[in-house]
A and B are shown apart, each in its own frame.
Chain A
Amino acid sequence: MNSKKSQKIAFIFLLLATLLIIVPVGLIIAIIIQKGLPGISWEFLSDIPRKGMRAGGIFPAIVGTLYLVSGAIIFALPIGLFSAIYLSEYAKDNFLTRIIKLAIVNLAGVPSVVYGLFGLALFVVFFKFGASILSGSLTLGIMILPLIITASREALESVPYSFREVSWSLGASKWQTIRNIVLPNAIPGILTGTILGLGRAAGETAPILFTVAAFYLPQLPRSIFNQAMALPYHLYVISTQVPNVDEKIRYGTALVLLTMVLFMNLIAVVIRYKFRKKKKW
């Protein structure tokens, strides 16, 4: 066989492999939209679950997820951003920096259920927060920390060094330079990372299993020390733990969760795209 022919065959196989990933992705999304859309109504989105979750809506789960995600970001964004500033502006190329980077990689790789265990041991039991929005938010916050650090650091480092030099030469201090020159130019990148973190936190189930998630709680949480329902856990419950749930409710819940997560990803992509166009350097 000549080499031209073998190239053709090889490339066809490569294409097939790619399609084997992309086509199912399209199918998954198409199925969820097609079967979930009939279940979506204003009542479904705004009502509490009724009849043992076999009827009614998913409003408490949506609210619970929003609370959890906001809590996670309030905790993770300041720490993540400052950590990124340290790595990009202050850290020297030494052993400590190497260890920090390794820790970030490891934090990103810890299985989500292990975060759940950790949250249970530290926040629920040791700090006695109980199963609550507070415990769940903190657990999710630590989980998305590496994502926010990595994205923010890339954003900060992509600001040209000459910007800093100009600022210093005008007499600005290091912190003034970071605040007035580096941060404003890095905001789109930081925002992108933050929104991706939000999406990740909204979709995770295992970390909230034992730290906050309520099986069935047909009311809204009153304080951060309350348990709450959450969308991903609710989907898990109605698809495995409760028999005879109408297909429309299952697919509808999956669609709402998927829409929420993909919408955040879409915003992140749009910001990244707009920023690339507007880039001044």
Chain B
Amino acid sequence: MRKIKELILEKLIFICGIASIFFVVLIFLFLLKEGFALFKTVLPADFLFGRKWYPISEPAQLGILPLILGSLLVTFGAALISIPIGVASAIYIAEVAPAKSKEILKAGIELLAAIPSVVLGFIGMVTLVPWVKKLFHLPTGLTALSGSIMLAFMAMPTIVSIAEDALYSVPKTYKEGALALGATHWQAIWRVMLPAASSGILAAVMLGIGRVIGETMAVMMITGNAAVMPTSILQPVRTLTATIAAEMGEAVVGSEHYFALFAIGIVLFVISFAVNVGADLFLHKKR
């Protein structure tokens, strides 16, 4: 009797074990099921490279190029800010900070990761947005730049913690060897530890950027949501994620607009899949 019970339990454990695969496949299938319906009426090339997103005009124009460029612009800005600061901070925490302040700094970074994105978006709206507006004398502070700054903060916890892990897992002997040869601590970090940890740091950067591309609420609240081809970082833009979040509420289930939003979901899923698999490869190369 107990044998049978354990056998059933073990089967159950196995089924739960592969549940993650099941859910990833399920998510992809349902995105495909709803998203591919769009391509009965719209050519994939027109969807991806169309320059006009007017989903509710007659006939609807469903080109997501402005949204892709909006996402890229905001992401690029966020990467430019968060990569140097994040990696520098990881080096400081891993190598330079005294043991006591190290724990406090790590807790502070974890705290940042824990703040819900809608709260960060709200704070961005009431502090960062007016500030950007005043600084650049703009008609509105809801711009790609504001989005980039806010998103940089959301990417930093990921970048710092994974890059710090990567630095930490460089064998101590590397550093000691460099120091024994007369290098200063900084030279040892710059010439020895950073190159040795490079694949882990690259993974950290990729995952941080993956977080930025997928971020929704904060970006919707502070980038201004104008679905036009972006021309400047000081203009309102709209990202892929914000488009889904802002429009799905109004889209009628089964309409062309509804399918188009799912097709955007496919694009996002594919991007995040590529980023995560890529980062995973880098992380495994290290070992």
Interface residues of A (CB under 8 A from B): 3-4, 6-7, 10-11, 13-15, 17-18, 20-22, 24-26, 28-29, 31-32, 78-83, 85-87, 90-91, 96, 99-100, 102-118, 120-122, 125-126, 142, 145-146, 149, 173-175, 199, 202-206, 209-210, 232-233, 235-236, 239-240, 250, 254, 257-258, 261-262, 265, 269
Contacts and interface: CB of A to CB of B under 8 A. Distances in A.
B21 interface: yes
Contacts of B19: 79, 83, 145
B56 interface: no
B177 to A, nearest CB: 17
B112 A25 contact: yes
A203 B119 contact: yes
What is the interface residue range for chain B against chain A?
35 or more
Interface in B16-34: 16-21, 23-24, 26-27, 30-31, 33-34
B44 to A, nearest CB: 19
Please list the 6 inter-chain residue pairs (A to B) with the smallest Cβ-Cβ separation, ordered nearest first.
A111-B214, A203-B116, A86-B17, A82-B16, A17-B88, A7-B186
B123 to A, nearest CB: 5
A210 B85 contact: no
B280 interface: yes
A102 B277 contact: yes
B234 interface: no
Given A14-B96, A175-B10, A206-B216, A21 B20 contact: no
A105 to B, nearest CB: 5
B265 interface: yes
Interface of A is mostly: helix
Nearest to B225: A240
Contacts of B120: 28
Given A121-B31, A203-B117, A114 B88 contact: no
Contacts of B280: 102, 105
Contact of A7 (B13, B185, B268): B185
B70 to A, nearest CB: 15
Contacts of A83: 16-17, 19-20
A85 B21 contact: no
Given A7-B187, A22-B108, A107-B24, 16 more contacts: A17-B84, A21-B89, A25-B111, A25-B115, A86-B17, A100-B20, A111-B269, A117-B34, A117-B248, A142-B23, A149-B20, A203-B116, A206-B217, A239-B221, A254-B122, A258-B115
A28 B15 CA distance: 43
